[in-house]
Amino acid sequence: MRNLAPYSFFNAFSYAPPLIGFASTDRKHTARNAELSGEFTWNLVTRALTEQMNATSTTADTDEFVAAGLEAAESVDISAPRVAASPVSFECRVSDVIALRGADGQAFTGVLTIGEVVAVHIDEAMIAGGVYQTALAHPVLRAGGPSAYFEILAEGRFDLIRPR
Ligand SMILES: Cc1cc2nc3c(=O)[nH]c(=O)nc-3n(C[C@H](O)[C@H](O)[C@H](O)COP(=O)(O)O)c2cc1C
């Protein structure tokens, strides 16, 4: 069954190999599917896709592309599909599934799934001067509380040079 879900416990962990991962509070469909199939795709949520993203957060056991009204796109290196309307997607092969523990060493139901990015898809309209332009995609961030989100806009940008 094709599955989709939003995961805000998400991050990148390494440049080479390029590793990304997400944490699930328990072995939900996404974590289970990734572990069993050995692959997953990550798809950027944009402002235009927020309603559909929210729709995929149900626990329903249905094809969540169909349920959310999202078209799937075939991946090139793995069999898990991508979200066609997302301007940035990564195809990943699972490299680690880590059972999470508290500081007391006690395992709980949480699991961190890490994957190596084996293919990257970026809509060329998001690239200027050879550099991905974050604000062009209008990505969204989950914020505090049960309902708050922020849209990333060009006017929120500032630049910083790292100290040597
Ligand atoms: C914006 C948003 C972010 C979420 N982030 C997480 C998360 O990081 N970890 C988690 O376990 N659940 C998270 N959830 C809840 C899951 O998306 C939800 O439990 C979903 O049903 C899981 O689907 P699955 O069983 O298909 O994996 C989030 C929900 C929303 C709306």
Q: Look at the domain 10-124 and name its fold.
A: Pnp Oxidase; Chain A (2.30.110)
Burial of 4 per CB tally in 10 Å (0-12, 13-18, 19+): buried
Please report, for residues 47, 93, 102, the alpha-carbon distance to residue 146 in angstroms, rounded to integers and kept in the order given.
Answer: 17, 31, 24
Predicted local confidence at residue 116, as pLDDT:
99
Predicted local confidence at residue 60, as pLDDT:
85
Measured in angstroms, how far is the CA atom of residue 164 from the centroid of ligand 1? 39
Measured in angstroms, how far is the CA atom of residue 149 from the centroid of ligand 1? 15
Ligand 1 probe mutation, 2, 3, 8, most atoms within 8 A of CB: 8
Gap between the Cα atoms of 74 and 54, Å rounded: 22
CB of residue 56 inside a 6 A radius of ligand 1: no
Q: Which of 7, 2, 83, 4 is nearest to 48 (CA)?
A: 83
Position 125 confidence tier, pLDDT thresholds 50, 70, 90 = very high
Q: What is the pTM of this model?
A: 0.96
Gap between the Cα atoms of 46 and 43, Å rounded: 9
CA of 3, closest atom in ligand 1:
26
Each residue of 16-59: pLDDT tens digit? 999 999 999 999 999 999 999 999 999 999 999 999 999 999 98
CB of residue 133 inside a 6 A radius of ligand 1: no
Measured in angstroms, how far is the CA atom of residue 97 from the centroid of ligand 1? 17
